[in-house]
Amino acid sequence: MNFDIELVGKIGSMALVNREYNDINYNVISRISRELLPGYVWVTSGAVEIGRLDYLQRNGRELSGGEGDNKTDYAAQGQSILMQTYRQYIDSRFSVRQILVEHYHFNDAEKSSHLRETILRCPSQNAIPIINYNDAVSSEENVKMELSALKSKLANVHECLDNDETAAQLACLLKARRLLILTSVDGIYENIDDPATLVAEISGSDTAELLANIDRYASGCRGASRRGANGARAKLEYIKAPAQNGTEVIIANAKYRIKDILSGAAPRTVVKVR
């Protein structure tokens, strides 16, 4: 496969938040930001949770509206903070471009093409795209109706309500050499309660064997880090598509440097055809 982009990376909300201080984990985001380079595409969660924490700090209480409205309002508040923080730490030689996506960017050929070309222009323009789902304008009920309508017309619909799926679909769209998913654990475990069971590699001699082995490990996964998260099982399901395309997928802990993860100097799970 000829690859058009070097890396699509994704970090989850919980890796970006310091629970002890109820604030952004500046150690994590500053370290990651300094490692981002043109040719990297970065998918970031965190707008909703960071917006919630910012509102709480400023007002001494959380919003009291409905869950959907609160998510919208927190996302709108947190998105600017998230981008400001990335911009603060990314090398000043590089431009930073915010790209907000929704499900239809991955289910409409014209929109997908426009998104692809927009992102692929970034490396030659010395720019790093920071991508997030556009929660601030996405009504949950409307999204459900739109997805239902799409499913009546299309055999395969990408919901992309989870940024793990968004990152996986971007890796496919952009023909990424590598897909890096950063989380709060070191990778995929045979037994999440036993750190010694970290799976260093999920592989196969061909695509069929690789997919079968992904399913085998997915069957042993359980739980998620927070409400709304889909956990390791969903990650393994989402990464099937890019893995089939020849993209090397790496799942690792956000506490390690990207450089160390990619080189194998840090613990990780690699998913690929041998």
Residue 228: predicted pLDDT: 40
Tokens 């160390």 label which residue?
260
**Lookup: tokens for 39:** 């040719």
Q: Provide mean pLDDT across the span 246-269.
A: 97
User: Is CATH 3.90.1150.10 what the domain over 5-273 is classified as, yes or no?
Assistant: no
- DSSP-derived secondary structure letter, 45: -
The 10s digit of each residue's pLDDT in 89-109 is 999 999 999 999 999 899 999
Asked if residue 229 has pLDDT above 50, the reply is no
Q: Provide mean pLDDT across the span 180-208.
A: 94
Q: Provide mean pLDDT across the span 213-229.
A: 68
Helix, strand, or coil (residue 11)? strand
What CA–CA distance (Å, rounded) separates 115 from 106?
9
Q: Provide mean pLDDT across the span 197-209.
A: 96
- pLDDT bracket for residue 144 (50, 70, 90): confident
Other C-beta atoms lying within 10 Å of the C-beta of residue 109? 7
Asked if residue 227 has pLDDT above 70, the reply is no
| Sheet strand arrangement including 201-204 | 95-101, 127-133, 40-44, 5-11, 176-183, 248-253, 269-273, 201-204
Residue 231: predicted pLDDT: 75
Closest C-alpha among 1, 3, 40 to residue 177: 3
Sign of the dihedral defined by the CA atoms of residues 269, 187, 218, 229, in that order: negative
Q: Between vectors from CA 51 to CA 50 and to CA 57, what angle results, nearest 5°?
A: 90
Sign of the dihedral defined by the CA atoms of residues 234, 237, 239, 242, in that order: negative
**Lookup: tokens for 179:** 């897909």
Residue 222: predicted pLDDT: 60
Question: Distance between alpha carbon 13 and the CA centroid of its chain, in Å?
Answer: 9
What CA–CA distance (Å, rounded) separates 81 from 67?
21
Tokens 């990650």 label which residue?
235
* Cα dist from 232 to 52, 111, 222, whole Å: 25, 29, 7
pTM of the model: 0.92
Residue 146: predicted pLDDT: 87
Residue 192: predicted pLDDT: 85
Q: Provide mean pLDDT across the span 160-171.
A: 94
Asked if residue 28 has pLDDT above 70, the reply is yes
Asked if residue 226 has pLDDT above 60, the reply is no
- pLDDT bracket for residue 225 (50, 70, 90): very low
- Strand segments, DSSP code E, in 134-258 are 176-183, 201-204, 248-253
Closest C-alpha among 52, 49, 81 to residue 65: 52
Average pLDDT score over the chain: 93
Closest C-alpha among 217, 134, 122, 232 to residue 181: 232
Closest C-alpha among 37, 7, 45, 32 to residue 242: 7
The 10s digit of each residue's pLDDT in 31-90 is 999 999 999 999 999 999 999 999 999 999 999 999 999 999 999 999 999 999 999 999
